[in-house]
Structure 1
Amino acid sequence: MRGDGDGWATSPDGRRHWGRHGAAGLLLRAPLDDGTPAVLLQHRAAWSHQGGTWALPGGARDSHESTAHAAVREAHEEAGIDPASVDVRAEVVTMRVPGGWSYTTVLAETYSLLDTVPNGESTELRWVREAEVAAMPLHPGFADGWLRLQTRPVRLLVDGDSIAADVPARVPRIVALPDGAFGWISEIARSSALGEGTFGAVTPSRDGALTAVLSADGALLERLPASVVTLTPPPLG
């Protein structure tokens, strides 16, 4: 069934953009065996706009939808992704034009490389290692936004004195960084040596990964250097 968002929006300069109420796409990540992220990409059908390029599952937003709902719905329709398997983490407006039309990229994660089922808008769906995305023939709009959307590696140190062993499995891998960019937790280690005077342990790893600390000790988190991303335990459920 066609939604009320299907159709073209025309900006004051005469350019047309798909989606009467704007559009949204799902940037879905999942961990590879080595902990680094893979991104789900769609090889656009030849008949579609910018056909033959790689981009995200996405499309027009209906008037009653949030951008997150629209992106997840489109991923279900175009790639067979079960909405229940997707955890939305952030939204970034990656294109905005005069007249009010905008494209929102919804950042989300899942816990494994989900099976996909392409519809007629795709010639292929592929999980691509994040480090290899930029080398692919990308849709121009996605290519422009990718510089803002790619993640930096993050090493998570878990405060063993305040965090139970089962908590790190519930921690989101996508984390917001102080500069407005995003990180991906690809390495997790427990430590009981994060108290005062032991901040030497909180240093970037040799591959340039940032450091994040997960602790329920608020006083400890306040004492950490500003360069350290601090996380608190996620709620149960």
Structure 2
Amino acid sequence: MGDGDGWVTAAGGVRRWGRHGAAGLLLVNDGSGDDGAEGPAGSRVLLQLRAGWTHLGGTWGLPGGAVDSHEDADAGALREAHEETGLDPAAVEVLGRRVTADLGVWRYTVVLGRRRRGAPPQAPHAATAESDDVRWVALDDVGALPLHPGLVGTWAGLRAWVERSTSAPPA
């Protein structure tokens, strides 16, 4: 366990996981099909089905979790995605980041990424007991899933961000 693991209580008694905040990786396919995500670049995103025993289990969200004190959001999201899906952080090109929740004492950052050009194909999978499933989901199908409440409220804006950021092929 890292030093970021633990609950934070914000104003009004709102509890969030991650003593130094949390971050998730919004990984989009690069269109190559090498990673099992068929279709045009940016048309699918990698989602994780949270295990039933976890907080808000049974919901789909981004691979991610608590950020440790020595990490920025990018490093935390990539580390957590590696732990949960087996993805190699060195194979991910970070395209940007966006804070989607800021409670003063806690914030959640979404890190947008895609497979780095020339990186070997990856086969994401449920790598820990924290995940019941990990899969590529078409942008049009994300909203039909039982989403984590934090993703429900931000998905429309995140989808638009994905579409804008991935309309060009990798450099």
2:153 is equivalent to residue 117 of structure 1? no
Query: Contact 2:26 / 2:45 at 8 angstroms: preserved in 1?
Result: yes
Q: Deviations over 1:21-60 (max 9, x none)?
A: 1000000001254414210000110011111010011100
SS state at 1:126 partner: strand
User: Any residues of structure 2 matched to 1:166-181 within 5 Å, and which?
Assistant: none
Q: Deviations over 1:190-214 (max 9, x none)?
A: xxxxxxxxxxxxxxxxxxxxxxxxx
Q: What TM-score do the two structures reach when normalised by structure 1?
A: 0.62
Gaps of 5+ in 2: 32-36
CA shift for structure 1 position 117: 3.0
Write the distance in 2 (CA, Å) between the matches of 1:149 and 1:62: 24
Percent of aligned pairs with the same residue? 48
Write the distance in 1 (CA, Å) between the matches of 2:38 and 2:45: 14
Compare the two structures and name the one with the higher strand fraction. 1
Query: Contact 1:19 / 1:59 at 8 angstroms: preserved in 2?
Result: yes
CA shift for structure 1 position 135: 1.3
User: Any residues of structure 2 matched to 1:22-61 within 5 Å, and which?
Assistant: 22-30=21-29, 31=31, 32-36=37-41, 37-61=43-67
Residue in 2 that maps onto 1:64:
70
Q: Deviations over 1:151-209 (max 9, x none)?
A: 37xxxxxxxxxxxxxxxxxxxxx68xxxxxx34226x7xxxxxxxxxxxxxxxxxxxxx
Rg comparison, structure with higher value = 1
2:112 is equivalent to residue 107 of structure 1? yes
Gaps of 5+ in 1: 153-173, 176-181, 189-233
Query: Contact 2:8 / 2:105 at 8 angstroms: preserved in 1?
Result: no
SS state at 2:13 partner: coil
Query: Contact 2:95 / 2:165 at 8 angstroms: preserved in 1?
Result: no
Query: Contact 1:43 / 1:54 at 8 angstroms: preserved in 2?
Result: yes
Equivalent residue for 2:91, pick from 75, 85, 94: 85
Equivalent residue for 2:149, pick from 140, 154, 157: 140
Residue in 1 that maps onto 2:4:
5
Query: Contact 1:48 / 1:121 at 8 angstroms: preserved in 2?
Result: yes
The RMSD of aligned alpha carbons is: 2.2
Tell me the number of residue pairs that the alignment of Structure 1 and Structure 2 aligns.
160
- Code of the aligned partner of 1:83: P
Query: Contact 1:151 / 1:184 at 8 angstroms: preserved in 2?
Result: no
Write the distance in 1 (CA, Å) between the matches of 2:148 and 2:56: 6
- Code of the aligned partner of 1:53: T
Runs of at least 4 residues off by over 3 Å: none
